[in-house]
Chain A
Amino acid sequence: MKVAVVGAGPAGVRAVERLVAAGLSPVWIDEASDGGGRIYQRPPPGLARDARSLYGFEAKRATALHDTLDALKPRCDWRPDTLVWHIRPGARQLQTLCGGRQDAVTYDAAILCTGAMDRVIPLPGWTRPGVTTMGAAQIALKTQGCAIGHRVVFLGTGPLLWLVAYQYAKAGADVAGVLDTTPFITKARATPGLLLGGATFAKGLYYIAWLRRRGIRIAEGVTPLAIEGGDDGVTAVTWRDAAGRDHRIDCDAVGMGWGLKPEAQLADLAAVPFRHDALQANWVPVRDGAGRTPVAGIYLAGDGAGIGGAEVAEMTGARAALAVLEDAGHRLDPIETVALDRRLASQARFRAALERAFPFPAHLARAMADDTLLCRCEGLRAGELRAAARAEAATGPAPEMNRAKAFTRVGMGRCQGRVCGAAAAEILAAELNCTVPQIGRLRGQPPVKPIPISAEAAP
């Protein structure tokens, strides 16, 4: 049986581990050179790799995952630096690109572990040099030993906001402020559920307490106003506090993000249906608890199948591999699968509490000023999308996201709506006076990332 695993983060590693243990030698494809996913991404050769300073409390977990990853590489058809840019579920074929060369990989079963990226709400000035996602700020520090600026403000909400601010301050960066759009009371109310997270919750509290003790400026329940500056970069962030007072913090860099969203483009191209998860405020591909999808031969695991975090990704990766084996007629140890399913169920309850503690502030996207740049790829402003929704538009009204895309180019650019899609959906829904599920979801198109026209086909 030919199994393909796409992605070598926590989910992909644990999936491949189970497949290899069952005697299979899967094709294992990752876009990066060295695997690990974004969370456990390793620095390039030449940089020191002290796990403790790179991954903090997660050092042990990261090291264990890297050791497994490196031990598995020679036991499968490991293909790093390779982009899967299309999938043909009928032909059970992945289209890949590596070093300018195209290739095709056929599979009987494919486990897609494609990960996640930051969810973003545009605000005035967000395209200036010096503004990055929260994940980007973390990657700069983790893999390059660099801060995104001399004086950094972190803006958004979610566990990553506090973690990255802590990591920056600890590495000696000047953290000028941590601005959380979620009010304190929202987080406090979620505490009973968060306690299910045990050590994970304790670590979160530790980061927040550490930042407070260091006297770092922290504000909760903020409304971001703008990132000020010029063409050469950022000079300040302005925001409004819960009492309606306006504030400014001087800085030369901003890391921003409001939770994560699945990188589920390949599942989409594989014709897996999606559902809107109201709690997560994300479109997620449909799968069962073991990672099976309604599409024959397609299995999903990790954050690309719905945001669960790295620890859950390891479990869902293993679970999806077990499902592949079970569907191929392998005998599984029922005790192992039951135990895994139990752990996953308990993690799901913690995750739900986390979503309630750091909800996606859709109202901020909906309130975006007309002249704010919404789609950074196509230079489209929020007002242009709103105009497309109105009946008097020359094209007639756009009743759903894909029509709006055709009319305005929102989500049509180089990132295919990865960055602006969540906010654009809120704006269109608000303008049409309906919900995000009602206006639908931007459909993925191949290639999932831009590829050169000159890419050569393999013989």
Chain B
Amino acid sequence: MKLVRLRDAARPRITLRLDGVPIEAQRGDTLLTALLAADAGYLRDSEFGDGPRAGFCLMGACQDCWVVVEGRGRLRACATLAEDGMEIRRG
């Protein structure tokens, strides 16, 4: 899944790391936006072996966008703002 930035896409840059790989994002991005507008493609694997997931409701209800943020634990990527230097693992 690739989010496409249509508006307001010239904000200050921040850098996060997903499984150790640098990801460039913009201030004001949620983690979901930061990862999926870059080339992460997906956020987590289903525990039941039915493939990758990249969120679904974007309003904090479906819980299908969980990622792990170093030092903060498991969070919903859609409801968490990206911050410079965050270390993220797929949920």
A residues near B, CB below 8 A?
A: 31-32, 38, 43-48, 53, 117-118, 127-133, 135-136, 139-141, 143-150, 171-173, 231-234, 252-253, 263, 373, 376-379, 414-415, 418-419, 449-450, 452, 454
How far is it, in angstroms, between the C-alpha of A157 and the C-alpha of B53 when the chains are bound?
24
Residue numbers in A under 8 Å from B12 (CB-CB): 46
Q: Is the CB of A144 within 8 A of B33?
A: yes
B58 within 8 A of A: yes
Q: Is the CB of B57 within 8 A of A135?
A: yes
Contacts of A32 in B (CB 8 A): 79
User: 15 A-B pairs, CB-CB below 8 angstroms?
Assistant: A32-B79, A43-B8, A46-B27, A117-B57, A129-B52, A136-B56, A140-B33, A145-B6, A146-B4, A149-B1, A173-B4, A233-B2, A373-B50, A379-B46, A415-B63
Does residue B20 face the partner (Cβ distance < 8 Å to A)?
A: no
Determine the chain A residues whose CB is within 8 A of the CB of B29 once the complex forms. Answer: 144
**What residues of chain B lie closer than 8 Å to A46, measured between beta carbons?**
11-12, 26-28
Tell me if A233 and B61 are in contact (CB < 8 A). no
Given contacts A135-B58, A145-B9, 8 further A-B contacts (CB under 8 A): A53-B7, A117-B61, A132-B55, A133-B62, A135-B59, A136-B56, A232-B42, A234-B1
> Known: A148-B1, A376-B64, A415-B62. Is A47-B11 also a contact (CB below 8 A)?
yes
Tell me the complex Cα distance, A133–B60, Å.
Answer: 12
**Please, how many angstroms separate the alpha-carbon atoms of A135 and B56 in the complex?**
9
Q: Is the interface of A mostly helix, strand, loop or mixed?
A: loop
> Are B50 and A379 closer than 8 Å at their CB atoms?
yes
Q: Inside 8 A of A45's CB, which chain B residues have their CB?
A: 28
Q: Nearest Cβ distance between residue A131 and chain B, in whole angstroms?
A: 7
- Contact among B26, B36, B63 with A450 in the assembled complex (CB-CB below 8 Å): B63
Contacts of B2 in A (CB 8 A): 130, 149-150, 233, 252
B53, B57, B63, B81: which contacts A129 (Cβ < 8 A)? B53
Residues of chain A within 8 A (CB-CB) of B27 are 46
Q: Quick one: CB contact mask for B1-29 with A, threshold 8 Å, 1 for yes?
A: 11111111101100000000000001111
